[in-house]
Amino acid sequence: MLDEFPPKKLLALAKTCETPFLAIDLKRLKANEDCFSGAAKSFFPKAQVCYSVKTNPNPSVFNSLSTGFEIASLEELKLVKSRKVFKVFNGCCKKESELKEALRQKALVIVDSFSELEKLIELEKSPKLKRLEIGVRLNVASKFGIELSRIPAFISKAGHSGLEVVLLHAHPGVHNSLKDYSEFMKGFRKAAELHDFKYLDLGSGFPSFPKMKSLNVSLGDYFGVARKELGALADEKTIIFEPGRVLVADAGFLVCKVCAIKELNGEKIAVLDAGINVLQKIVLEDFEFELLQPRAGKKENFRLAGPLLFGNDFVGSLNASLKEGDLIAVKNTGAYCLSLAWEVSYKKPEIFVF
């Protein structure tokens, strides 16, 4: 069993690395991958796992994985260009240059609109392309995809133009309850029965492992719901999952420093050298703060503030005996903290692996 918190390794990094910095535990990342892939294949014999590159685009992260990839931009395509694995290219704003690169890499393009279909129909006329296989994204209460009622027309138009629709994709959203996930799967099943798809792509949206634990649910619970709703399709089709957060969230740590301690209106405040520029609420993780070198002494409640000149730059709280210069580790920062970090007054933190 892996240690949930590696203070010695983080302290060793802090001796040579300037704070704040992000660190990824590759052993934990691989353990999460093994857990996810093993569970997926136990429920779906033809399961295909594709890591969501946008979740953490650091090359050390995706190069350590043995999954395929879900890609959403030209920059991400460039990052994984050398990897000869199963790839799906997703997104609602694909430019012609991106589509061409995706096709060069033999990525399966998931089409988001009729407009995008027209672009592919033009590209398909190239003598370099054989019969082109594509996917279609089902709309699920968002800006993405095509409504259920228009899926047959999409498939018909693609077929008459020489394109074969082999994949159905939909994303359930983030942090769904099992009840919500069941409703999502019921809608997905209706679309899946409209056509003989080779691949059924269920996206991801799964909470991180710590979040699942706090919700008293497991990956098996979600996979069990999906298998139940898909019925025989669960064995007949290749079921694709696009995990990101669930693989990398709890494998990442932010190490920051207490730069100032003050008291305002009777409240103890510790000012850190990282704040909402790295630890944004949009990341949707329950960040946990831990002193890397706890000391004996009276513990007090500190409100943790960041360094930005914004009045709302508060990131959490900590009950500890704190002094200026102390190092604090923030857990569950592997997903989106790097890719969504702001460069307001400060550069993005460096990222290290161990």
Confidence tier at 310 by pLDDT (50, 70, 90):
very high
pLDDT at 209: 95
Return the minimum-mean-pLDDT range out of 78-82, 122-126, 255-259, 332-336. Answer: 122-126
1 band by pLDDT with thresholds 50, 70 and 90: very low
> Would you say residue 236 has pLDDT above 60?
yes
Q: Which residue would you say has higher pLDDT here, 2 or 351?
A: 351
DSSP 146: B
Residue 71 clears pLDDT 90, i.e. is over it: yes
Provide the token pair at 58: 């650091």
What confidence tier does 295 reach under pLDDT thresholds 50, 70, 90?
Answer: confident
Tell me which of 1.10.1040.10, 3.50.50.60, 3.30.2270.10, 3.20.20.10 is the CATH number of domain 27-247.
3.20.20.10
Model pLDDT, residue 3 = 56
Q: What is the pLDDT of residue 263?
A: 96
User: Locate tokens 């399961």: which residue?
Assistant: 47
The 10s digit of each residue's pLDDT in 115-163 is 999 999 998 877 666 679 999 999 998 999 999 999 999 999 999 999 9
Domain 7-23+249-353, what architecture?
A: Beta Barrel (2.40)
SS3 per-residue string spanning 213-260: HHHCCCHHHHHHHHHHHHCCHHHHCEEEECCCHHHHHHHEEEEEEEEE
pLDDT of 57 reads 96
> Does position 5 have pLDDT exceeding 90, yes or no?
no
Look at residue 127 in the predicted model and tell me its pLDDT.
66
Other CB atoms within 10 A of residue 296 CB: 6
Token pair of 332 as six digits: 């569950």
Q: Are 254 and 20 in contact (CB under 8 A)?
A: yes
Mean pLDDT of 229-235: 98
pLDDT in tens, 175-205: 889 999 999 999 999 999 999 999 999 999 9
* pLDDT at res. 85: 98
Cross-strand bridge partners of residue 329: 255, 290
Report yes or no on whether pTM surpasses 0.85. Answer: yes
The overall average pLDDT reported for the chain is: 95
- Mean pLDDT of the region 102-112: 97
Of 175-179, 217-221, 287-291, give the lowest mean pLDDT range. Answer: 175-179
Q: Where are the domains of the chain?
A: 7-23+249-353, 27-247
What Cα–Cα distance (Å) separates residue 326 from each residue in 11, 130, 150, 157, 270? 11, 61, 58, 63, 10
66 burial (CB, 10 Å; 0-12 / 13-18 / 19+) is exposed
What mean pLDDT is predicted for residues 22-40? 97
Containing H/E element for 264?
Answer: strand 252-264
